[in-house]
Chains A and B, each alone.
Chain A
Amino acid sequence: MTQSAPTKSAGLFGYRLSPVGSIAFLVILFWAVIAIFGPQIAPYPVGKIVDMDYFGPMSAKFWLGSDYLGRDMLSRIILGARYTLGIALAGVLIASTTGVVLGMAAAVVGGWFDTLLSRLMDALISIPSKLFGLVVVAAVGSSLPALILTLAVIYVPGAYRFARALAVNVNTMDFITVARIRGENTLYLAISEILPNIIRPVLADFGLRFVFIVLLLSGLSFLGLGVQPPLADWGALVHENIQGLSLGAAAVIAPSLAIASLTISVNLLIDDLPRKIRDRSA
């Protein structure tokens, strides 16, 4: 099917993206560049008080105004991108990889292994995520590794369920039976026979899960449980500048917009992916 559409220019990975998808992709690319080259781009040092005024308005000098201590908001957001994107990406990588590996294992091995793992994951899902974050912070304090692991643990069950559901469907196909009676082991079945058939929807799920993690991370930071001062991700920026809301300060609105633009873009990109990538490959 892919080679039968040579008429228009092939876009991302040989697929054409819709206009909405392209814009979303550009926004994501923009934030990725910001996160990588943050220190080079930022106009002011991140922790330095540069404005005499607090909650300063937007000006030619301070594009996004200043925060509650008079620090440059633009620089804070640029540097905050590193934390938000970095932590979320690390978290989603751990969550999705673990979830997919366990999900495929459960589908292939089946039996009590599947039952045990599935019930364990159900139990994990039943814990409210913010409460879980609160308990972990109370127990071990808030450090970046602890934060990443907590986020990952919270989102493993979802990734597991998704991958297992897909893998169970593939597992009933005759080609799996053929491979089984050929004498192939579980690892080969999972990686070589099943994974290629579920990888596209799994990648789409990876993107959505990334959004969930960004939102949860921002939420935890907003509650003061996430990234701790003097470091700040976008959620923490909203948290520390919340008093500026009544003053209409850019300091509280700009990081909120940053979170929204990132999460909405990822969602739109995935929604507008060509059917062939997004859905289970036929």
Chain B
Amino acid sequence: MTKLVDIRNLRVEATTDAGRRIEIIKGVDLDIAKGEIVALIGESGSGKTTIALTLMGHTRPGCRISGGTVLVDGKDMAALPERERAALRGCEVAYVPQSAAAAFNPSQTIMDQVIEVTQIHGSMPRDKARQRAIELFKALSLPSPDTIGGRYPHQVSGGQLQRLAAAMALIGDPKLVIFDEPTTALDVTTQIDVLKAFKSVMKSGGIAGVYVSHDLAVVAQIADRIVVLKGGEVQEEGRTQAILATPAHPYTQELLAAFEPKETQFAAAPAEKARPLLEVENVISGYGVVQSDGLPLVKAVRSVNLSVEKGRNLGIIGESGCGKSTLARSIAGILPASAGNIIFNGHELDYAARRRTHDQLREMQIVFQYADTALNPAKPIEEILGRPLTFYHGLKGQARSARVDALLDMVRLPKSLRHRHPSELSGGQKQRVNFARALAADPRLIICDEITSALDTVVAGAVIELLKELQRELDLSYIFISHDLSVVEAICDEVMVMYRGEKVEHLTREDIASPRHPYSKLLFASVPKLDPTWLDNLVLEPELVRQYGGA
């Protein structure tokens, strides 16, 4: 096969705030044949997007290509003058961004933006470009392809917008398309449609692609070859089948291991029915103006019941917008519920957190998804962990300091971290600090709101392991909210599926493999598997998809 892309000894330098130069890509070699899809996979900061961007001769601000060649169809993108590079972008090499919502201009119609690139390059007349766009819309199986171009970006769903972004990239008939985590922000049920559409368009057009992702299962579906990156260097490279079957590099093995279900001993179901730690009865909550019936205009949670027993975990899963986070915020009192009862530890809780007692607040802690925004950047770790100790337990001086050390130890962080600020910690470390702060209160229940979603697969796996260990030691209960079924399965005794603000199914460990409700079936079937043939063999009941899929 002939080579389309030939990257040799690529080096990219970045300049830090302090003016220091650091090398972020350290001599990478990469080939892509015509019509081949190569996946770049690795954790955040591994340089996968940086490499993909050099294919357009582009680097992010503060970075520059400092060495090597990037040949795309015989032209060195690293050496070409900017004017010539610009002429190639959109024609030879095109780009599909992670967030299509951010890539579209909200004040122009979709059609104008999709065909813009042909107008800039003057490659085809307007009418022809429109026809070509409509063909692409059809190929990408978008609904009503003839008229969707007349809409504005906010009038289509996230999955549709992502496919429209692909149409925008494909309209110039590029030889190479760069996909930068295009499905990461989508729900699993939507992700399937988008992946299928991408795959069929790329295969039928014989277009080469670079697929940047951190999700091995997604990559397995679409890529011919996988390149595993870490620290700006290629760790391993091979055919998709080979990488999945016989990973050679330890990092690749770690990535794969994160997918395997871990053996966990779950506490046996209690013999006698003790009173649950938390009972939520018919809770309704939402946003907007309160109506005459005392309920909010937009009900995000519609009459949900749940219970959590002592020392056991409840998982809540559902797609974005299903109300799972709103439910968590209502239980914690951040967003006061409008109706229903929240009974914690035998006492009815007030809807609003500020009217709950000191002890009620202490015993129920919440940990948020984004560790970055949940830790005050102006304070050292010591201060962040020390405050709840002083506030709840009145600890001061030596005692407080010793307890901070103990907490850091509990979440497996070195004691030396206590003088650092959050910006000096990695994502996984920040999430551990976040968790340690919740532990500082000596809680009985910790609500974990998507706490592993922003973390890399391997790091997330370690955090989950830590949570299990702490549960055994400290007799905690968790409410674990996630859109990721595998995470919930790994830690929860019971799983509750939410759809459009309602609880549609309650599953125990025994029947988690066989959900009854159609939405749960669709959701569970949509989680990508490592098997490369999974997507091609996947058959979803069209009736189900029509009713619950996509939006």
Which positions in A face B, CB cutoff 8 Å? 1-2, 4-5, 173-175, 177-184, 193, 196-197, 275-276, 281-282
Q: Cβ of B385 < 8 Å from any Cβ of A?
A: no
Q: Which of B175-183, B219-227, B272-280, B368-376 contacts A (4 or more CB under 8 A)?
A: B368-376
Q: Could you tell me the distance in whole angstroms from the C-beta of B331 to the nearest C-beta in chain A?
A: 11
Q: Cβ of B155 < 8 Å from any Cβ of A?
A: no
A180 / chain B contacts, CB cutoff of 8 Å: 334, 353-354
Name, among A180, A181, A196, the residue most crowded by chain B CB atoms within 10 Å (CB to CB).
Answer: A181
Closest 8 CB pairs of A and B: A196-B378, A5-B18, A174-B374, A4-B18, A174-B373, A181-B353, A174-B368, A175-B376
CB of A181 within 8 A of CB of B366, answer yes
Q: Could you tell me the distance in whole angstroms from the C-beta of B9 to the nearest C-beta in chain A?
A: 28
Q: Please name 7 further chain A to chain B contacts, defined as beta carbons within 8 Å, in addition to the given A178-B437, A281-B377, sorted by A numbering.
A: A5-B18, A5-B20, A173-B374, A173-B376, A174-B373, A178-B368, A282-B377
| A175 to chain B: closest residue by CB | B376
A183 / chain B contacts, CB cutoff of 8 Å: 353-354, 356, 358, 361, 391
CB of B17 within 8 A of CB of A197, answer no
Summed over the interface, the residue pairs from A and B with CB atoms below 8 Å come to a total of: 64
B16 / chain A contacts, CB cutoff of 8 Å: 1, 4
The B429-460 residues at the A interface (CB cut-off 8 A) are 437, 441
CB of B373 within 8 A of CB of A173, answer yes
CB of A178 within 8 A of CB of B354, answer no
Identify which of A4, A178, A184, A197 contacts B377 (C-beta below 8 A): A197
Identify which of B20, B378, B388 contacts A182 (C-beta below 8 A): B388
Q: Could you tell me the distance in whole angstroms from the C-beta of A253 to the nearest C-beta in chain B?
A: 42
Query: How far is B423's CA from A197's CA once the two chains are assembled, in angstroms?
Result: 13
Question: Taking A1-B18, A4-B20, A5-B19 as contacts, is the C-beta distance between A178 and B391 under 8 angstroms?
Answer: no
B377 / chain A contacts, CB cutoff of 8 Å: 197, 281-282
Query: How far is B17's CA from A207's CA once the two chains are assembled, in angstroms?
Result: 24
Identify which of B18, B354, B370 contacts A174 (C-beta below 8 A): B370
B333 / chain A contacts, CB cutoff of 8 Å: 181
Question: Taking A5-B20, A181-B353, A181-B366 as contacts, is the C-beta distance between A175 and B361 under 8 angstroms?
Answer: no
A173 / chain B contacts, CB cutoff of 8 Å: 373-374, 376
Q: Cβ of B284 < 8 Å from any Cβ of A?
A: no
B18 / chain A contacts, CB cutoff of 8 Å: 1-2, 4-5
Q: Could you tell me the distance in whole angstroms from the C-beta of B484 to the nearest C-beta in chain A?
A: 20
17 intermolecular pairs with C-beta atoms under 8 Å apart: A1-B17, A1-B18, A174-B368, A174-B373, A174-B374, A180-B334, A182-B387, A183-B356, A183-B361, A184-B391, A193-B376, A196-B376, A196-B379, A197-B376, A197-B377, A281-B377, A282-B377
CB of B423 within 8 A of CB of A181, answer no
B361 / chain A contacts, CB cutoff of 8 Å: 181-183
B17 / chain A contacts, CB cutoff of 8 Å: 1, 275-276
Q: B332-376, CB under 8 A of A: which get 1 and which 0? A: 111000000000000000000110101001000010101001111
CB of B391 within 8 A of CB of A182, answer yes
Query: How far is B379's CA from A281's CA once the two chains are assembled, in angstroms?
Result: 12
B368 / chain A contacts, CB cutoff of 8 Å: 174, 177-178
Query: How far is B376's CA from A197's CA once the two chains are assembled, in angstroms?
Result: 8
B373 / chain A contacts, CB cutoff of 8 Å: 173-175
Question: Taking A1-B423, A175-B375, A197-B378 as contacts, is the C-beta distance between A181 and B19 under 8 angstroms?
Answer: no
Query: How far is B360's CA from A181's CA once the two chains are assembled, in angstroms?
Result: 10
Q: Could you tell me the distance in whole angstroms from the C-beta of A200 to the nearest C-beta in chain B?
A: 10
Q: B36-67, CB under 8 A of A: which get 1 and which 0? A: 00000000000000000000000000000000
Q: Could you tell me the distance in whole angstroms from the C-beta of B482 to the nearest C-beta in chain A?
A: 17
Query: How far is B375's CA from A197's CA once the two chains are assembled, in angstroms?
Result: 12
A179 / chain B contacts, CB cutoff of 8 Å: 387
Question: Taking A181-B333, A196-B379 as contacts, is the C-beta distance between A175 and B19 under 8 angstroms?
Answer: no
Q: Could you tell me the distance in whole angstroms from the C-beta of A211 to the nearest C-beta in chain B?
A: 27
| A178 to chain B: closest residue by CB | B374
Name, among A177, A197, A282, the residue most crowded by chain B CB atoms within 10 Å (CB to CB).
Answer: A177
CB of B423 within 8 A of CB of A282, answer yes
Q: Could you tell me the distance in whole angstroms from the C-beta of A278 to the nearest C-beta in chain B?
A: 13
B376 / chain A contacts, CB cutoff of 8 Å: 173, 175, 193, 196-197
Name, among A1, A183, A184, A282, the residue most crowded by chain B CB atoms within 10 Å (CB to CB).
Answer: A183
Query: How far is B503's CA from A164's CA once the two chains are assembled, in angstroms?
Result: 40
| B370 to chain A: closest residue by CB | A174
A175 / chain B contacts, CB cutoff of 8 Å: 373-376
Query: How far is B376's CA from A281's CA once the two chains are assembled, in angstroms?
Result: 11
Q: Could you tell me the distance in whole angstroms from the C-beta of A52 to the nearest C-beta in chain B?
A: 60
B332 / chain A contacts, CB cutoff of 8 Å: 181
Query: How far is B434's CA from A175's CA once the two chains are assembled, in angstroms?
Result: 10
The B526-544 residues at the A interface (CB cut-off 8 A) are none
Name, among B18, B19, B334, the residue most crowded by chain A CB atoms within 10 Å (CB to CB).
Answer: B18
B375 / chain A contacts, CB cutoff of 8 Å: 175
Q: B258-289, CB under 8 A of A: which get 1 and which 0? A: 00000000000000000000000000000000
| B388 to chain A: closest residue by CB | A182
B441 / chain A contacts, CB cutoff of 8 Å: 182
Query: How far is B221's CA from A33's CA once the two chains are assembled, in angstroms?
Result: 72
B366 / chain A contacts, CB cutoff of 8 Å: 178, 181
B423 / chain A contacts, CB cutoff of 8 Å: 1, 282
